[in-house]
């Protein structure tokens, strides 16, 4: 009995994984997982604007109220675009740039020492991973057949 070339490949996707990846809801749930913290953060900041302004002041942002409003807008509009499947490149781009700026501002590990540096280094590189996820999300949306 001969095996087909595809089934004998070591890197062939198992049937259960193909079923999960092929299910229509998987892509949406993955985008929700990627954007969920931003969406939640935007809602929390919107409902506690004073706290959002205080957070911006804590990070030394000039005009903290303005930066709080901009942060809320990015954290709500970016996920809405990514989750809607419309202008995904824009929503993912907004969130990716925001994440990069936040990583540099809040996790400047190169200025820290000791345990603080360790935590900030991990958080910085986790943020880079999120940026990669946003780039991949935009790539996948671009490759999606029109009308789907």
Query: Angle at the Cα of 31 (from 95 to 77), degrees rounded to 5?
Result: 40
Of 55, 80, 81, the closest CA to residue 69 belongs to 55
The reported pLDDT for the residue numbered 3 is: 53
Average pLDDT rounded to a whole number, residues 79-91: 97
At 102-147, the pLDDT tens digits run 999 999 999 999 999 999 999 999 999 999 999 999 999 998 776 4
Please report which helix (H) or strand (E) contains residue 3, including its range.
none
Instruction: Specify the pTM.
Output: 0.84
């Amino acid at each position: 009995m001969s095996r087909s070339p595809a089934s004998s490949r070591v890197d062939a996707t198992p049937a259960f994984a193909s079923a999960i990846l092929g299910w229509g809801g998987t892509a949406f749930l993955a985008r929700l997982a990627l954007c969920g913290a931003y969406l939640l953060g935007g809602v929390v900041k919107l409902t506690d604007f004073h706290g959002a302004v205080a957070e911006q002041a804590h990070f030394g942002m000039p005009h903290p109220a303005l930066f709080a409003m901009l942060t809320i807008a990015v954290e709500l509009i970016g996920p809405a675009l990514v989750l809607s499947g419309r202008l995904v490149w824009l929503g993912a781009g907004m969130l990716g740039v925001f994440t990069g700026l936040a990583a540099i501002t809040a996790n400047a590990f190169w200025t820290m020492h000791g345990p603080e540096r360790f935590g900030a280094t991990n958080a910085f590189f986790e943020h880079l991973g999120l940026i990669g996820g946003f780039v991949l999300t935009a790539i996948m949306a671009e490759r999606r057949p029109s009308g789907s």
